[in-house]
């Protein structure tokens, strides 16, 4: 048994690729070994910017000899079969062995030296290495077949025990020599083997174990901040990245000009992090001061102040790769200057952006494409503003603080400063909320065209919030602008402040509707527009705020907005541009168009569809786009027209009804996934969904949750058993043809109606036969009568409860059927010889089933 | 270099040191290309010479113009006209990183005092149909050099691969001289500053780029360059065609600075420039391929 060391040295490996490369190296190595019948005791992998290393413990020095037996033809088989077998195995007849009348070829594979296996495996691993990006280099690259590696490969160390594993690839031969730190120990060093590798490198200023470097950075960065009386803002991503950029990490603290702290802290942190890979620091919060100085590891971290964190300090921690001869003074000074230049840029953006109100920035949104087929961002904003207002005016989002589950982001900061004061009448409150929602929606995307968000796209929303506050907009509006992208994923805060909810919801709904209108729903793993996330966001917003909303109606409104905005733009195009005028010539009098009545027609889709269909050529002219390019003075309008015309062209082919139904199905699916993840039994979700027609998520989920509670009770379990038994009997008797079993809207037959009324309907003729004129007056058995009575009582109760959306009460009403149905099965024979009785009892079971279906489709429930 | 410890190098001495160093490494010391261009990579010594199998080692200073970066001389770090020091070595030598670090030493950067790092930064020029892998080299957190192994140029695989170094001369000089404002740089050791040479130029050129340049003639110029490039390609003079691609590229940058190219048009203009550059590279390859293949059998088209 020996330990094996492999080091692949190359020019600097990108930090982000190192973790993957370690995993790949291990995987490829284990695979190559396994193919040769070898297995190592333990395999460890390491990386630095300049090397990938692997140590495999306890490798056998040779593989075991194996004898392989191949079955041949029967001895009785014709000569040709045997000849074929000999050819195949390369043996002669006397080398075969015979057993039970069958020829066998036995090949002995001698054991191989592990060193030889490794010498073949290493080049194979290097050739097969799946770098995300790789390159050629040097003189060999005159052929495109030359070796590829992440950056030029410069050395291989391969030592088994203490013996060299000799191999060569792409002009690089293995050896005992590697190199230490690029600047501290630039010469060659000789490695003895796995046993001294890490320590020899350490002596040459290289910490080969990435985990150790990460720990060093974590601790020393924290310590550097603490020495300056500050608290490091921890950032594990930066720890790993800096460990991937250094072989000898040395965190150093520097200061920047305090004047930069005027810039929002998120901007400073992002500038430092993204551009320079620096950590930032905070002042210790007042509450935490005492704790910080205490070195007791058991003491909890300092309690953050109300805002959630301490204030940003004018300090940064960079991670150098050397032990500088001047103690790091020059490095800190250099880094300080670079950061200062970056922060000057950021401050410049911040100040430039604030010079104009968001409403002026928003004008530029007409130039930005939301989606080629869905118009500009300005178009989107227009729609979102309409929808946000509609959500308030319809009473879906109410002015009073919403009944949220837990505090959302918006609520946290808005609620204390703006207590709900019923100074206005309810109508006034609603109007105010509608105005704020519309305003916030109109401004929510304006920061996309600011310099700051241009530089740091991840600050979208956040900057809008800052700019809104800076120009003195109400907090509720600023908060809504800031948080309207939320929730961005599971676990993210769900807004609860009314204005924010309106904008957040409208924005997501608009996106969803748009992409379904152009028939680009997510498929499989492809969801380029993050529609699943948007749908989940909508579901979370509705749930967290208990919003009572019929999804269908909301979608319809959103679709209408698409048409309206597109057609309004189209209308302007027609009446304002020369191209539009040419297009209309001979079709419509321009005078009529300018009149209000025509405007109404134009924006109403059907009318215009008709108009466009009548003159398809006109549409083609416009689609050519060249027609109107340069024909207007204002250089922004062509794009608006361009978008609108494309949208119109699209809507000519889109199918809103199809979009609507796929959206509803899509939402149902998302909801199921979400509920399943939340631990709700999928069969219960199915049982409620199977009722169909429910697009009020709150009601739907209330039903699911009540059902979940009910089926686990004894009554629930037994009722389910009774239901299943009834359903089975009905199924066996083919009773399912009866419309009554379909539940809603049809009065379930009870045996008390005159079945002949159904006979006229051809659909029911077969069913009616089963009734065969039951004798209304036969003597019912007590359990039968008891069930009828119980149903009589339970049916209206359940119905009322469902209407009142008290699903627990509806379940309770059902629970009263449990004893009667049990007793019924106990003592009544359904399949009575008397056809009347049989029909009547089947009808009764069907009625029972229908009653249960008022609450959920129990046939979907398992167990 | 004992004297570098005493007095930091002036900008021009820095250039001379780099010339001396790379000249010793066998590089041709070339002069700037006499056309307006956005980056040293546009120099034919880089673009066209990166194609084909012939060894090629050259170093030169290239003035670069980035009209949109103009700040009327008011920003201490941004210029619409600045210098790049370009080194191109084909095939890329094994010790390219070491050579580069030695060159830093020559201009006074001590790697045990200053933190030198190779940080992933892959280079791509859609206009030139070119890309490569490499790093931005950091000196105490500041990017001082772009270090690239060219993989493709003009849409063609680089066979062999060339190593390209692009030093940002003003940045390095500011760093070496410990100066916070580019206009305070010592241009020479006789009291002339960078500002003396270029401040007025920055003011006037920023104004011209952003406010004065006649957009109609720029558009017209673009159209002409495009047409002339096509004519040159038809006449099989790819170097002349490539010059027109350089011209079109710069005119496009000026139009951008004038703010007359919309977001939608931008992509289309870039595509047009790319077609010119690619067409020129293609023609350059076609013209030389047979001779190269004869001389370098292992190189195949």
Residue A755 preceded by cis peptide, ω within 30: no
- Hey, what are A728's tokens? 């089975």
Mean pLDDT within A178-192: 96
Per-residue pLDDT for A756 more than 80? no
ipTM entry: 0.94
Give the mean pLDDT of chain B: 93
Among A514, A515, A536, A384, smallest CA distance to A445 is for: A384
Query: How many angstroms separate the CA atoms of B127 and B238, rounded?
Result: 17
What tokens does A652 get?
A: 């000519």
Residue A517: which pLDDT band, with cuts at 50, 70 and 90?
confident
Among A431-440, A637-646, A686-695, the range scoring the smallest mean pLDDT is A637-646
Question: How much is the pLDDT for A580?
Answer: 63
Six-digit token string for B178 = 């410990």
Q: Are A142 and B296 in contact (CB under 8 A)?
A: yes
Asked if residue B240 has pLDDT above 80, the reply is: yes
pLDDT at B30 over 60: yes
Which one-letter DSSP state was computed for residue B207?
H
B117 close to A (CB below 8 A): yes
- When pLDDT is cut at 50, 70 and 90, the band that residue A172 belongs to is very high
How far is the alpha carbon of A141 from chain B, nearest alpha carbon, in Å? Answer: 4
Subunit contact B140:A142, Cβ cutoff 8 A: no
The pLDDT tens digits of the residues spanning B85-101 come to 999 999 999 999 999 99
Average pLDDT, chain A: 82
Q: Do residue A334 and residue B94 have CB atoms under 8 angstroms apart?
A: no
Q: Which residue has the higher pLDDT, A434 or A755?
A: A434
Q: CA of B14, closest CA in chain A: separation in Å?
A: 19
Which is nearest to A547 in space by CA: A390, A689, A395?
A395
Dihedral sign for Cα atoms in the order A73, A79, A84, A86: positive
With an 8 Å Cβ cutoff, is A337 touching chain B? yes
Question: How close B34 gets to chain A, by Cα (Å)?
Answer: 31
Whether B140 has its CB under 8 Å from any CB of chain A: the answer is: yes
Task: Return residues 830-859 of A near B (CB < 8 Å).
Answer: none
Q: DSSP H helical segments within A484-550, as ranges?
A: 498-517, 531-544
Q: Which CATH number fits domain A371-400+426-550: 3.40.50, 2.60.40, 1.10.3210, 3.40.1350?
A: 1.10.3210
Task: Check if B208 contacts A (Cβ < 8 Å).
Answer: no
For A696, the 3-state DSSP assignment is: strand
At residue A218 the predicted structure's pLDDT band, cuts being 50, 70 and 90, is: very high
Quote the percentage of chain B above a pLDDT of 70. 97
A297 has a pLDDT exceeding 60 = no
Burial per residue of B24-62, b for 16 or more beta-carbon CB atoms within 10 angstroms, e otherwise: eeebeebebbeebbbbbbbbbbbbbbbbbbeebbbbbbb
Nearest CB to A14 within list B53, B120, B142: B120
Tally the residues of chain B: 301
Q: Is B91 touching A (CB cutoff 8 A)?
A: yes
**CA dist., res. A583 & res. A579, Å (int):** 6
Query: Please, is A332 exposed, middle or buried when counting C-beta atoms within 10 Å of its C-beta (0-12, 13-18, 19+)?
Result: buried
Check pLDDT > 90 for residue B11. Answer: yes
Searching chain A, which residue's CA lies closest to the CA of residue B180?
A337
Chain B residues with CB-CB distance to A142 below 8 A = 53, 91, 159-160, 296, 298-299
What pLDDT shows up at residue A288? 45
Could you tell me which chain B residue has the CA closest to the CA of A153? B94
In this complex, the residue of B112, B132, B140 whose CB is nearest that of residue A335 is B140
Kindly state the average pLDDT of the residues A295-303: 41
Tell if the CB–CB gap between B141 and A136 is shorter than 8 Å.
no
Q: What is the DSSP string of A443-487?
A: HTTGGGGSHHHHH-GGGTTHHHHHHHHHTT--HHHHHHHHHTT--
Residue A526 scores a pLDDT above 70: yes
Read off the tokens for A782: 């007590």
Q: For A711-734, what is the mean pLDDT? A: 86
The CA–CA distances, whole Å, from A95 to A75, A104, A111, A249, A513 equal 14, 9, 21, 65, 75
Cα separation, A792 vs A820, in Å, equals 12
Q: Is the CB of B299 less than 8 angstroms away from the CB of A142?
A: yes
Is the minimum CB–CB distance between B289 and chain A shorter than 8 Å? no
Q: Does A229 touch chain B (CB under 8 A)?
A: no
- Picking from A346, A345, A385, the residue whose alpha carbon sits closest to that of residue A362 is A385
Distance (Å, rounded) from C-alpha A855 to C-alpha B8?
Answer: 86
A647 vs A351, more confident? A351
B210 in contact with A, Cβ within 8 Å: no
Closest CA to B9 of B145, B171, B177: B177
Contacts of A335 in chain B (CB under 8 A): 140-142
Query: How far apart are the C-alpha atoms of A245 and B110, rounded to whole Å?
Result: 19
pLDDT value at residue A653: 63
Average pLDDT score over residue span A502-526: 91
- Mean pLDDT, residues A32-52 taken together: 95
Nearest by Cα to A702 from A796, A797, A811, A793: A811
Mean pLDDT over A590-619 rounds to 46
Q: Tell me, yes or no, if A140 comes closer than 8 A to chain B by beta carbon.
A: yes
**What is the three-state SS of A781-846?**
CHHHHHHHHHHHHHHHHHHHHHHCCCHHHHHHHHHCCHHHHHHHHHHCCCCCCCHHHHHHHHHHHH
* Interface contact B114-A331, CB threshold 8 A: yes
- Is A182 in Cβ contact with B141 (below 8 Å)? no
CB nearest A142 (choices: B97, B160, B262): B160
In this structure, what token pair is assigned to residue B207?
Answer: 């104004």
Question: Is A131 an interface residue toward B (CB < 8 Å)?
Answer: no
Q: Is B263's CB within 8 Å of A367's CB?
A: yes
- CA pair distance A191, A179, nearest whole angstrom: 10
DSSP of B118-165? EEE--EEEGGGTEEEEEEEEEETTEEEEEEEEEEEETTEE-SSPPEEE
List helix spans (H) across A99-181. Answer: 114-128
Q: Does B131 touch chain A (CB under 8 A)?
A: no
**Residue A120 has what pLDDT?**
96
Res A68: pLDDT = 81
Q: Which of residues 728-757 of A touch B (CB under 8 A)?
A: none
In this complex, the residue of A12, A143, A335 whose CB is nearest that of residue B135 is A12
- CATH number of A680-736+775-860: 1.10.340.70, 1.10.730.10, 1.10.10.10, 2.60.40.10? 1.10.730.10
Count Cβ atoms below 10 Å from residue A617 Cβ, excluding itself. Answer: 8
Does A12 have pLDDT greater than 50?
yes
The structural domains of chain B, ordered by start, are 11-210 (3.30.930.10), 213-295 (1.20.58.180)
| A845-857: pLDDT as tens digits | 999 998 888 888 8
Is the minimum CB–CB distance between A318 and chain B shorter than 8 Å?
yes
Of B116, B133, B140, which has the smallest distance from its Cβ to A135's Cβ?
B133
- Is B92 an 8 Å CB contact of chain A? yes
| A616 pLDDT higher than 50 | no
Residue A454: its pLDDT value, please?
86
Q: Choose the weakest-confidence range: A119-128, A219-228, A525-534.
A: A525-534
Q: How many whole angstroms separate alpha carbon B226 and alpha carbon B237?
A: 15
Dump pLDDT digits (tens) for A672-718: 888 888 888 888 888 888 887 778 888 888 888 889 889 888 888 88
Helical segments of A654-713, H only: 656-677, 682-689, 697-711
Residue A234 near residue A285 (C-beta atoms within 8 A): no
On whether any CB of chain B is under 8 Å from the CB of A625, the answer is no
| Whether A60 contacts chain B with CB within 8 A | no
In chain A, what residues touch B160 (CB-CB under 8 Å)? 136, 138-142
End-to-end CA distance of chain A: 56
| Closest Cβ–Cβ partner in B132, B140, B149 for A331 | B140
Mean pLDDT to the nearest integer, A482-499: 91
* CA-wise closest residue to B78 among B176, B192, B206: B206
pLDDT of residue A37 exceeding 50, the answer is: yes
The model's confidence at residue A738, banded by pLDDT at 50, 70 and 90, is very low
A12 → closest Cβ in B118, B157, B300 = B118
Yes or no, beta carbons of A322 and B115 under 8 Å apart: yes
Distance CA B274, CA B47 (A): 13
In this structure, are residues A175 and A157 in contact, taking their beta carbons and an 8 Å threshold? Answer: yes
Q: Looking at residue B128, what is its pLDDT? A: 85
The tokens for A20 are 């993957």
Nearest CB partner across the interface for A136, out of B116, B139, B151? B151
Q: Which of A9, A14, A136, A245 to mutate to test the interface with B (most CBs of B within 10 A)?
A: A136
Q: Do A639 and B77 touch (CB under 8 A)?
A: no
Tokens of A754: 């005159």
| CA dist., res. A205 & res. A249, Å (int) | 10
B177-185: long-range contacts at Cβ-Cβ below 8 A with a sequence spacing of 24 or more?
B177/B8, B177/B9, B177/B10, B178/B8, B180/A337, B180/B76, B181/B76, B182/B76, B182/B77, B182/B79, B183/B73, B183/B76, B185/B11
pLDDT at B164: 97
Contacts of A645 in chain B (CB under 8 A): none
- Tokens 């069907």 sit on residue: A846
Nearest-angstrom CA–CA distance, B201 and B207: 10
Domains of chain A, residue spans: 2-63+113-204, 71-108, 210-285+309-354, 371-400+426-550, 562-624+639-660, 680-736+775-860
CA distances (Å), B111 to each of A324, A330, A331, A642, B14, in order?
A: 8, 11, 10, 56, 17
Q: Supply the pLDDT for residue A585.
A: 63
What pLDDT, in 10s, does the model give residues A376-392? 888 899 999 999 999 99
Q: Hey, which of A548-557, A655-664, A824-833, B197-206 has the most confident mean pLDDT?
A: B197-206
Bridge partners (DSSP) listed for residue B148: B134, B164
Chain segment A394-432, per-residue pLDDT in tens: 999 988 654 433 333 434 444 444 445 556 788 888 999
Residue A99 predicted with pLDDT over 60: yes
> Are A322 and B112 within 8 A, CB to CB?
yes
Residue among B113, B170, B258 with most chain A CBs within 10 A, to mutate: B113
A103: β partners: A98
Mutation site, B75, B77, B120, interface A, largest A CB count within 10 A: B120
The answer to which of A531-540, A703-712, A761-770, B132-141 has the lowest mean pLDDT is A761-770
- Integer Cα distance of B121 and A643 in angstroms: 36
B189 to chain A, closest Cα gap in Å: 23
pTM of the model: 0.74
B114 lies within 8 A of chain A by CB: yes
Distance of alpha carbon A544 from the chain centroid: 19
Chain B nearest CA to A636, separation (Å): 9
pLDDT over threshold 90, residue A638: no
Per-residue pLDDT of B45-80, as tens digits, reads: 999 999 999 999 999 999 999 999 998 999 888 899
More confident residue, B202 or A658: B202
Phi, psi of A46 (to 5 degrees): -135, 160
Q: Is B270 on the interface with A (CB under 8 A)?
A: no
Helix axes A531-544, A498-517, angle to 10 degrees: 150
* Residue A430 burial (10 A CB sphere; 0-12, 13-18, 19+): middle
Alpha helices in A355-408 (DSSP H): 358-362, 377-393
Percent of chain A residues topping a pLDDT of 70? 79
Average pLDDT over residues B211-237: 96
């Amino acid at each position: 048994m020996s330990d094996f060391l492999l080091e692949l040295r190359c020019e600097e490996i990108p930090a982000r690729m190192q973790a993957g490369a370690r995993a790949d190296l291990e995987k490829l190595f284990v695979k190559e070994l396994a193919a040769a019948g070898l297995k190592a005791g333990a395999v460890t992998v390491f990386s630095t910017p300049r090397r990938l290393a692997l140590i495999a413990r306890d490798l056998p020095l040779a593989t075991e000899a194996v004898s392989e037996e191949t079955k041949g033809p029967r001895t009785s088989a014709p000569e040709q079969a045997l000849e074929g077998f000999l050819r195949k195995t390369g043996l002669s007849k006397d080398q075969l062995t015979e057993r039970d009348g069958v020829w066998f070829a036995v090949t002995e594979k001698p054991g191989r030296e592990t060193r030889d296996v490794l010498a073949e495996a290493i080049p194979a691993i290097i050739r097969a290495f799946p770098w995300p990006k790789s390159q050629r280099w040097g003189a060999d690259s005159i052929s495109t077949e030359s070796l590829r590696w992440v950056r030029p490969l410069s050395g291989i160390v391969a030592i088994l025990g203490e013996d060299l594993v000799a191999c060569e690839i792409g002009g690089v031969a293995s050896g005992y020599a590697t190199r230490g730190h690029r600047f501290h120990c630039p010469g060659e060093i000789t490695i003895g083997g796995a046993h001294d590798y890490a320590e020899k490198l350490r002596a040459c200023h290289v910490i080969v174990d990435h985990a150790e470097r990460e720990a060093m950075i974590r601790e020393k960065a924290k310590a550097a901040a603490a020495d300056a009386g500050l608290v490091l803002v921890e950032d594990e991503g930066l720890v790993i990245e800096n460990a991937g950029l250094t072989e000898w990490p040395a965190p150093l603290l520097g200061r920047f000009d305090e004047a930069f702290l005027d810039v929002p802290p998120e901007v400073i942190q992002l500038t430092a992090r993204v551009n320079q890979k620096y950590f930032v620091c905070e002042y210790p919060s007042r509450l935490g001061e005492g704790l910080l100085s205490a070195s007791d590891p058991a003491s909890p971290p300092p309690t953050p102040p109300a805002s959630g964190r301490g204030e940003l300090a004018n300090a940064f921690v960079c991670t150098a790769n050397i032990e500088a001869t001047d103690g790091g003074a020059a490095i800190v000074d250099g880094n300080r200057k670079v950061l200062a230049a970056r922060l000057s840029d950021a401050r410049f953006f911040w100040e430039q952006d604030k010079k104009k109100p968001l409403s002026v920035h928003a004008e530029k949104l007409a130039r930005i494409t939301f989606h080629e087929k869905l118009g500009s961002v300005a178009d989107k904003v227009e729609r979102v503003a309409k929808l946000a207002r509609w959500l308030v005016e319809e009473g879906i989002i109410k002015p009073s603080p919403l009944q949220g589950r837990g505090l959302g982001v918006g609520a946290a900061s808005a609620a204390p400063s703006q207590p709900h004061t019923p100074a206005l009448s309810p109508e006034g409150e609603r109007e105010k909320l509608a105005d704020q929602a519309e305003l916030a929606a109109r401004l929510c995307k304006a920061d996309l065209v600011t310099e700051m968000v241009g530089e740091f796209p991840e600050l979208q929303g956040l900057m809008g919030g800052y700019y809104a506050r800076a120009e003195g907009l109400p907090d509720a509006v600023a908060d809504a602008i800031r948080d309207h992208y939320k929730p961005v994923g599971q676990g993210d805060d769900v807004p609860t402040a009314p204005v924010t909810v309106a904008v957040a919801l409208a924005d997501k709904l608009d996106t969803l509707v748009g992409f379904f209108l152009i028939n680009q729903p997510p498929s499989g793993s492809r969801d380029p527009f993050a529609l699943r996330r948007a749908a989940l966001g909508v579901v979370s917003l509705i749930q967290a705020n208990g919003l009572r909303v019929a999804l269908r109606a909301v979608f319809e409104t959103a679709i209408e907005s698409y048409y309206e905005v597109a057609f309004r733009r189209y209308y302007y195009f027609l009446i304002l541009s020369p191209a539009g005028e040419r297009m209309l010539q001979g079709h419509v009098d321009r005078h009529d168009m300018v009149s209000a009545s025509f405007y109404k027609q134009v924006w109403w889709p059907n009318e215009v569809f008709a108009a466009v269909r009548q003159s398809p050529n006109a549409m083609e002219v416009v689609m050519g786009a060249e027609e109107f390019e340069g024909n207007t003075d204002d250089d922004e309008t062509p794009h608006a027209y361009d978008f609108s015309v494309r949208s119109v062209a699209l809507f000519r082919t889109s199918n809103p009804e199809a979009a609507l139904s796929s959206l509803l199905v899509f939402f149902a699916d998302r909801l199921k996934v979400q509920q399943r993840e939340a631990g709700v039994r999928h069969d219960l979700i199915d049982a409620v969904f199977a009722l169909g027609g429910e697009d009020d998520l709150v009601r739907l989920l209330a039903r699911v949750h009540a059902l979940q509670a009910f089926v686990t009770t004894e009554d629930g379990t037994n009722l389910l058993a009774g239901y299943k038994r009834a359903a089975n009997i009905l199924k066996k008797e083919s009773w399912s043809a009866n419309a009554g079993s379909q539940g809603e809207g049809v009065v379930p037959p009870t045996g008390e109606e005159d079945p002949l009324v159904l006979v006229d309907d051809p659909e029911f003729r077969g069913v009616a036969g089963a009734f065969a004129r039951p004798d209304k007056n036969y003597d019912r058995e007590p359990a039968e009568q008891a069930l009828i009575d119980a149903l009589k009582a339970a049916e209206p109760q359940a119905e009322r409860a469902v209407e009142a959306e008290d699903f627990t009460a509806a379940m309770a009403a059902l629970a009263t059927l449990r004893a009667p149905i049990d007793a019924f099965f106990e003592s009544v024979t359904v399949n009575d010889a008397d056809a009347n009785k049989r029909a009547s009892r089947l009808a009764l079971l069907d009625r029972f089933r229908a009653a249960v279906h008022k609450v959920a489709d129990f046939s979907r429930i398992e167990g | 270099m004992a004297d570098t410890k005493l007095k930091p190098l002036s900008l021009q001495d820095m250039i001379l040191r780099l010339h001396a160093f790379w000249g010793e490494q066998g590089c041709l010391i070339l002069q700037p290309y006499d056309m307006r261009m956005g980056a040293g990579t546009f120099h034919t010594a880089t673009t066209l010479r990166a194609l084909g199998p012939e060894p090629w080692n050259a170093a030169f200073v290239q003035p670069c113009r980035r009209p949109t970066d103009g700040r009327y001389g008011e920003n201490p770090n941004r210029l619409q006209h600045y210098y790049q020091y370009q080194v191109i070595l084909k095939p890329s030598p094994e010790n390219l990183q070491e050579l580069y670090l030695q060159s830093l030493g020559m201009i006074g950067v001590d790697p045990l005092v200053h933190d030198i790092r190779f940080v992933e930064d892959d280079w791509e020029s859609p206009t030139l149909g070119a890309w490569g892998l490499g790093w931005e080299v950091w000196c105490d957190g500041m990017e001082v050099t772009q270090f690239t192994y060219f993989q493709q140029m003009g849409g063609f695989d680089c066979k062999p691969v060339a190593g390209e170094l692009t030093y940002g001369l003003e940045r390095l000089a500011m760093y070496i001289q410990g100066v916070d404002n580019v206009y305070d740089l010592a241009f020479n050791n006789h009291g002339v500053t960078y500002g003396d040479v270029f401040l007025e130029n920055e003011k006037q050129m920023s104004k011209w780029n952003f406010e004065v340049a006649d957009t109609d003639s720029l558009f017209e110029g673009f159209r002409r360059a495009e047409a002339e490039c096509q004519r040159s390609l038809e006449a099989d003079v790819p170097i002349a065609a490539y010059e027109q691609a350089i011209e079109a590229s710069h005119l496009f940058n000026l139009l951008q600075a004038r703010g007359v190219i919309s977001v939608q048009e931008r992509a289309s203009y870039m595509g047009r420039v790319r077609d010119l550059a690619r067409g020129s590279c293609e023609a350059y390859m076609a013209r030389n391929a047979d001779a190269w293949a004869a001389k370098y059998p292992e190189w195949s088209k």
